[in-house]
Structure 1
Amino acid sequence: MITTLKAEEASQLQLVEREDIDDEEDLFESIDKLISAGINAGDVKKLQDAGIYTCNGLMMHTKKNLTGIKGLSEAKVDKICEAAEKIVNFGYITGSDALLRRKSVIRITTGSQSLDELLGGGIETSAITEAFGEFRSGKTQLAHTLCVSTQLPTNMRGGNGKVAYIDTEGTFRPDRIIPIAERFGMDPAAVLDNIVYARAYTYEHQYNLLLGLAAKMSGEQFRLLIVDSVIALFRVDFTGRGELAERQQKLAQMLSRLTKIAEEFNVAVYMTNQVIADPGGGVFISDPKKPAGGHVLAHAATIRLMFRKGKGEQRVCKVFDAPNLPEAEHVFQITPGGIADAKD
């Protein structure tokens, strides 16, 4: 049972500043450091205008992409990359160092203890967690619960950070946040103020919203990015087999951007996905379904969760694919206060 915060403390709930997080400053280096390395301030401004706010983020771009930025020649790009390489180590590290870096990963509670146990502690940062399933299987309900639980202090299994929510299906309901915040003993108004929300209408709009997030995340402490759902606009904007190859290429670029955001800012990315009929699913399954997006989406997601309906308000979550979790499933329940443990 999560301890309820006192009302007067909850109303003044302040997110811990970025500097106060242990080793947080080591996670990324500001792009402004290039100026002290001899790079022209005007060129740094051009990088920021293109959505690049950290040296880590800069190193995640190809030189071809960087020369596409207006005003940056090949010679300038070479000089910028050379300076960034001296600031950020993007080469080999030992396994021990990799283990040390993993200690910065935060696991955010889902609101259900059994679901947290299934996920090894909760939704983890620096990774993409994909939830797929039919409508009414609980994907968006988990998204709303995470909007609140992410803002809890880390000692209460939260992320102590803000939330960015990109909505492609028009299913975000701010009034749903209020009872969930009250369940966790938090001030609903403060919780809503710490959620930045955008409604996307085309796949291009969706991608541009991701580019704009870098500016916010470099200046404020975010711990969660929700995309609900990642595939919906691609299924609308691209039709027929003739456009399938282009759709998958654009989807891959979008997912690559999500991966970079997750690792660059130590943010948990939670994206929902739709399902499609699977005619080759087998004769033993009455209504076989598989996640949309194909292999491109399957390889991009770090952890894949399959949701399905249970009895009444109960739902079942199964670990479909994960690098460090066994294949298992747990039952949870949708309550007025969000996701919770199932009641017998």
Structure 2
Amino acid sequence: MAEEKIEETEEEALDEKEESSAEEAPVEEAEESEEATEEDSDEDDEIDNDAEEDAGEGSLEDLEGIGPATAKKLMDGGYSTIKSVATAAIGDITEAAEISEAKAKKVITLAKEKCNMGFESADRLLIKRQDIGKLTTGSETFDTLLAGGMETQAITECYGEWGSGKSQVAMQLAVTVQLPVDKGGLDGEALFIDTENTFRPERIVQMAKGMGLDPDEALKKIHVARAYTSDDQMLMTEKAAEMVRDSNVRIVIVDSLTSLFRSEYVGRGTLAARQQKLNRHLSTLHKLADLNNCVVYVTNQVMSKPDMFFGDPTKPIGGHILGHSATFRIYLRKSKAGKRIARLVDSPNLPDGEAVFKVTENGLED
């Protein structure tokens, strides 16, 4: 009897041990499943982000109501991606696709839904801004003024008197953009819209040598177009979007932005028409910078105000339209011994300040 009781006690102990292990097992399995769920959710987030990018670059025929014929008209009009349609105005889509305003509005709404465009939290926006690149000017002090260089997804305007170095900075940026990222470049090509006949390939050769680049290769990576009218300038900017997408263009330069507008629209009577046209041109440049993550650098002329008795009488052309539209505004002026002074006049996130640099045969130097 004693032996039977001992066996029963051992069996009960084994049963209790099995029950306790069975109770612990689901907990471990639950923990593993929670970890797996977290990993899956992280993967889902990555997939969602990739899906957003793919949706922005998807085919136009993926949109409801867009057939092959309408898609072709949109592409001929410069709208080759869903994101480009989502950021377009209703009138532009109506004109390009030859459809009614109601249908154009519906198409734009569907495109925005496809790209997940709308309100988003500021922390996600901060993460997206980590993709923004910085392009060196060749001068460390100038780069420090701009917190590392000229920003992508932004319009940087330089204005100043003749000989202040605006075009020199433009040609320097066309060279430095070709540098690898670890040397302050963007490892890309440049698109240069010349409205004042200031571009000189000989100067590019000098700057390329100064930066340690092959001059012949540097010239091949700079695409130059000469604009003779403001309409020609605007058309080139609109067509530039196709070139930026098809090639590795990382900077678009307009030198100068306002000279043709200034020569064609003379007198106060034409001021309203000029400003409306300039505003549309700037809107195109903003889209170009934002959608393609590239730098947009524009130069601007100035005017003198002789009725000013105190302060600097030099004022930029373009009025409030250009003043509000430029993301970064830099005032260049000449100084002694061949030096130039760059003053940051306006920025959404950087303090005002000045930087001193020289324009030498090799380009911009401290």
Q: Deviations over 1:53-106 (max 9, x none)?
A: 222221221212211225333454245324312321220111111101111110
Instruction: Tell me which residue corresponds to 2:321.
Output: 296
Structure 2 counterparts to residues 28-67 of structure 1, below 5 A = 32-38=58-64, 39-67=66-94
Structure 2 counterparts to residues 176-195 of structure 1, below 5 A = 176-195=203-222
Question: What is the distance in 1 between the residues matched to 2:81 and 2:180?
Answer: 26
Shift in Å at residue 27 of structure 1?
Answer: 6.0
Instruction: Tell me which residue corresponds to 2:296.
Output: 269
Question: What is the distance in 2 between the residues matched to 1:339 and 1:27?
Answer: 37
Q: TM-score scaled by structure 1?
A: 0.87
> CA, structure 1 residues 34+69, in 2 after alignment: closer, same or farther (shift >3 Å)?
closer
Question: What is the distance in 2 between the residues matched to 1:186 and 1:194?
Answer: 12
Shift in Å at residue 339 of structure 1?
Answer: 0.7
Q: In 2, are the aligned partners of 1:27 and 1:266 still within 8 Å (CA)?
A: no
Question: Is it true that 1:120 corresponds to 2:120 in the alignment?
Answer: no
Q: TM-score scaled by structure 2?
A: 0.82
Counterpart residue identity of residue 359, structure 2: I
Q: Which stretch shows the higher mean deviation, 294-303 or 61-70?
A: 61-70
Shift in Å at residue 299 of structure 1?
Answer: 0.4
Instruction: Tell me which residue corresponds to 1:140.
Output: 167
Shift in Å at residue 318 of structure 1?
Answer: 0.4
Task: Compare relative contact order (CA 8 Å, sep 6+) and give the higher one, 1 or 2.
Answer: 1
Question: What is the distance in 2 between the residues matched to 1:103 and 1:85?
Answer: 23
Which structure dedicates a bigger proportion of its chain to helix? 2
Shift in Å at residue 123 of structure 1?
Answer: 0.6
Question: Is it true that 1:327 corresponds to 2:357 in the alignment?
Answer: no
Q: In 1, are the aligned partners of 2:56 and 2:115 still within 8 Å (CA)?
A: no
RMSD over aligned CA atoms reads 1.9
Report the secondary structure of 2:207's partner residue. helix
Q: Deviations over 1:14-52 (max 9, x none)?
A: xxxxxxxxx999768566522234531222221111112
Q: Which runs of 5+ in 1 are unaligned?
A: 1-22
Report the secondary structure of 2:336's partner residue. coil
Question: Is it true that 1:105 corresponds to 2:142 in the alignment?
Answer: no
Question: What is the distance in 1 between the residues matched to 2:316 and 2:50?
Answer: 35
Question: Is it true that 1:306 corresponds to 2:331 in the alignment?
Answer: yes
Counterpart residue identity of residue 259, structure 2: A
Instruction: Tell me which residue corresponds to 1:284.
Output: 310
Structure 2 counterparts to residues 129-168 of structure 1, below 5 A = 129-168=156-195
Q: In 1, are the aligned partners of 2:83 and 2:115 still within 8 Å (CA)?
A: yes
Question: What is the distance in 1 between the residues matched to 2:262 and 2:109?
Answer: 40
| Percentage identity across paired residues of the two chains | 41
Shift in Å at residue 320 of structure 1?
Answer: 0.6
Q: In 2, are the aligned partners of 1:165 and 1:227 still within 8 Å (CA)?
A: yes
Question: Is it true that 1:203 corresponds to 2:230 in the alignment?
Answer: yes
Question: What is the distance in 1 between the residues matched to 2:234 and 2:145?
Answer: 31
Q: Deviations over 1:246-276 (max 9, x none)?
A: 1111111111111111111111110000110
Question: What is the distance in 2 between the residues matched to 1:78 and 1:302?
Answer: 29
Instruction: Tell me which residue corresponds to 1:20.
Output: none
Question: What is the distance in 2 between the residues matched to 1:61 and 1:75?
Answer: 14
Instruction: Tell me which residue corresponds to 1:19.
Output: none
Counterpart residue identity of residue 333, structure 2: R
Question: What is the distance in 1 between the residues matched to 2:207 and 2:245?
Answer: 28
Counterpart residue identity of residue 138, structure 2: G
Q: Which stretch shows the higher mean deviation, 47-56 or 91-100?
A: 47-56
Report the secondary structure of 1:312's partner residue. helix
> CA, structure 1 residues 251+27, in 2 after alignment: closer, same or farther (shift >3 Å)?
farther
Counterpart residue identity of residue 88, structure 1: C
Instruction: Tell me which residue corresponds to 1:13.
Output: none
- Total equivalences in the alignment: 317
> CA, structure 1 residues 83+157, in 2 after alignment: closer, same or farther (shift >3 Å)?
same
Counterpart residue identity of residue 136, structure 2: T
Q: Which runs of 5+ in 2 are unaligned?
A: 1-48
